[in-house]
Structure 1
Amino acid sequence: MENFQIIRSFLPKSISDADLLTKYYPALKDSDNSIRYDGKLKNVDTIRAKPRWLLSNIIPKNEESNSNYNRLRNTLSGLKLNTVCVEAKCPNIGECWGGKSQTKHQDSNINILDESNNHQMATATIMLMGDTCTRGCRFCSVKTSKCPPPLDPSEPENTADAIHKWGLEYVVLTSVDRDDLTDGGAQHFYETVQKIKEKNPKILVECLTGDFQGDLECIRKMSLSGMDVYAHNVETVEELTPQVRDYRATFRQSLKVLKLVKEFNPKLITKSSIMVGLGESDQQIFETMWELKNAGVDCITIGQYLRPTKMHMKVLEYFTPKRFELLQEIGEKVFGFKYVASGPMVRSSYRAGELFLKNLILKEQVV
């Protein structure tokens, strides 16, 4: 058992002792009044060699899964649509793209239906505005350039057509940063959401956007685009942001975006994501949770940083599954997020189409 002072030492100082005792601390107790959280996340296995739970096959090996993988790759290529799955070297791509009937897993963003046999086939996340980013974050493998190719004016319509034909209920759209454009591509993003909703208003749309350099008009436009979930990632704790993200992407600017979204459209569900394993402390993770909650964020995801190439930042620590479970419990029961997805292979668009978010969105629409 741990006493209050030990629990206190692992939570942000911005939470007062009174609040901990009256609001949060009771939520961490079992019926027998014992404390389940041991307050020592740093002692839950510090691992530096890549552990077994992170070993996965990027390309599926069995014939059926490989067929699904190739089919999705060829379909998206034929539509000239980019996916973050490929460009960001997502470690879940083999499972997502090789997925088959009724299989739900932790990165299911777009549920693409196989019309020939009417079952859930595979998952992907559509990345708008090309495959070249104007920023150079040190954790990301998406290629960069100061002058990416111009936008494809037919992309919003093509994306909406493809999504409509696939018969989706929930779709995730993301994009590269386009600082070369006056509005950061906000209008292009806006038109894509609008066209999707025009073809089927019932499709739930999540958008994972950049910060648009904090431009109020761009954030307002996106907030009022008709999307259902507005996601923007802080990526890491504030202290590590200068080493992890591009110099134009600051922690405070990301918080500003998330706060503005709620001001422009209070009904929108907001979401953010944190990577771990970059050298952050437990205290810094908790402070980040506190900042996000104060910014009005409803849901967060927490996942293990994996080095995409030797040119990128090194992994300093691998969190165990148990440690991720503790972070989830603290996020939901201490900080009060509506939903926390926390796990080694969790990514920012983790289970985007799952039942929880769908029901949450539909419930808010009724209210």
Structure 2
Amino acid sequence: MTTSARERKPDWLRIKLTTGEPYREIKDMMRTKTLHTVCEEARCPNIYECWANRTATFMILGDICTRACRFCAVKTGLPTELDLQEPERVAEAAEQMNLRHCVVTSVARDDLQDGGASIFAATIAAVRKKLPLCSVEVLIPDFMGKKESLQIVMDAKPDILNHNIETVERLSDRVRAKAKYKRSLELLQRAKEMYPDIPTKSSIMLGVGERTEEILQAMDDLRAVDCNILTLGQYLQPSPAHLEVARYVHPDEFASLKEEGLKRGFSHVESGPFVRSSYHAHEQVKSAEARTTSVREESRV
């Protein structure tokens, strides 16, 4: 099923708007604490649902990215912001929201020596201090392949280390800016080598011109570096200046790909048109833990 981004979206891509009191509270809190969320900056279709349920993904290191990926709505340019107090404000917001699972991501900061890794580590520590029982998931850039930067983040011991390959290998250079498919796989592999017990996670967006066999190969590549959790979602064009949608993937295909992922050994696969990397993140962790426990018990029999 091939289509153009300018054609009418299928019925299954209709979004239910929920802008009640929790949504407004979170929006006001983010502005008061001068924080950014990837929910807003990347124009995530799930913002209404997630904010209504008092969940959000914090975006640290400012709102200007040093890269210009063709799929991403985040502003690009030369960042000027480096706020050393940001980790504490993120922790305060997480505490105010009484989060059980906190997701932290960032723009790419290739202008910084460590790519912002030290701010990630400080944010993990700050959230843990405020909310000792809250799990912390970080969605990191590739740090231009710098092992030292990854080590800084891993030494802070996040509960989940997330890094997205975004698309299949053939399309990677066309879709992403500066990031490399093999470098992303290497990052996930290194994370496992540093801390084998910390689950890793990645995401693939569909509808940018990939073929089914390429999606399955990407799954195999991720499993080869022991990636534990996979998310699959539909690419939606943020503006006419961005990459056009090659096709809208039917929910049945997403369901089929979820089964393929589970067959390959992922502990959890979140797959659907509106799925994004941090969508239902807390539920993903619980599901992955339950499946891992089940597999271990079966192996003992």
1:172 aligns with 2:103: yes
Where does residue 14 of structure 2 map in the other structure?
55
Partner of 2:190: 260
For 2:47 and 2:159, locate their aligned partners in 1 and report how far apart those are by CA, in whole Å. 25
Say whether residues 1:331 and 2:261 are aligned partners: yes
- Structure 2 Cα separation of the partners of residues 364 and 286 of structure 1: 21
Cα offset, 1:92, TM superposition: 1.5
Q: 2:143 aligned with 1:143, yes or no?
A: no
Q: CA RMSD in A?
A: 1.9
- What secondary structure, in the 3-state scheme, does the structure 1 residue paired with 2:75 have? coil
Q: How does 1:114-129 map to 2 (within 5 A)?
A: 121-129=53-61
Q: Residue 238 of structure 1 aligns with which residue?
A: 169
**CA distance in structure 2 between the partners assigned to 1:341 and 1:242 by the alignment:** 25
Deviation at 1:198, TM superposition (A): 2.2
Q: Which has the larger radius of gyration?
A: 1
Name the aligned partner's letter for residue 220 of structure 1. Answer: Q
Task: Quote the residue 2:299 is aligned against.
Answer: none
In structure 2, the partner of 1:346 is 275
Identity %: 43
State the shift of 1:168 in Å: 1.5
Deviations along 1:228-262, one digit per CA (max 9) or x if unpaired, are: 0000000000100111000x200011001000000
Aligned to 1:70: 24
The one-letter amino acid paired with 2:174 is: Q
1:80 matched to 2:34: yes
Quick one: distance in 2 between partners of 1:235 and 1:276?
Answer: 9
Partner Cα separation in structure 2 for residue 282 and residue 267 of structure 1: 31
Corresponding residue for residue 90 of structure 1: 44
1:275, 1:362 → 2: CA distance? 25
1:63-106 Cα offsets, whole Å, 9 max, x none, are: xx333322221111101110001100111222222x2xxxxxxx
**CA apart distance, 1:363:** 9.9
Q: What is the CA–CA distance in structure 1 between the aligned matches of 2:271 and 2:291, rounded to whole Å? A: 24
**Rounded Cα–Cα distance in structure 2 between residues aligned with 1:230 and 1:127:** 15
Q: Provide the rounded CA distance (Å) in 1 between the counterparts of 2:59 and 2:11.
A: 30
Distance 1:268 1:312 in 2: 35
Q: Please name the residue that 1:270 is paired with.
A: 200
CA contact (8 A) 1:267 1:364 kept: no
Aligned letter for 2:224?
Answer: N
3-state SS of 2:208 partner: coil
Change (3 A) 1:360 1:349: same
- Aligned with 2:238: secondary structure? coil
Does residue 304 in structure 1 map to residue 234 in structure 2?
yes
Are the counterparts in 1 of residues 59 and 104 from structure 2 also a CA contact under 8 Å? yes
Using a 3 Å threshold, how does the CA distance of structure 1 residues 123 and 167 change in structure 2: closer, same or farther?
closer
Question: Is contact 2:232–2:275 with CA below 8 Å preserved after alignment?
Answer: yes
The residue identity in structure 2 corresponding to 1:197 is R
User: Hey, what does 1:207 align to over in structure 2?
Assistant: 138
Q: Does 1:287 align with 2:241?
A: no
The CA deviation at 1:153 is 1.2
Q: Which residue does 1:23 correspond to in 2?
A: none
Give the match for residue 246 of structure 2: 316
Q: Which letter does structure 1 place at the counterpart of 2:70?
A: R
Show structure 1 runs of 4+ deviating over 6 A. 362-365
- The two structures have a TM-score, normalised by structure 2, of 0.92
Q: Report the CA distance shift for 1:94/1:161 in structure 2 as closer, same or farther (over 3 A).
A: closer
1:285-323, CA deviations, whole angstroms, 9 ceiling, x for partnerless residues? 111000000011001000000001000000011110000
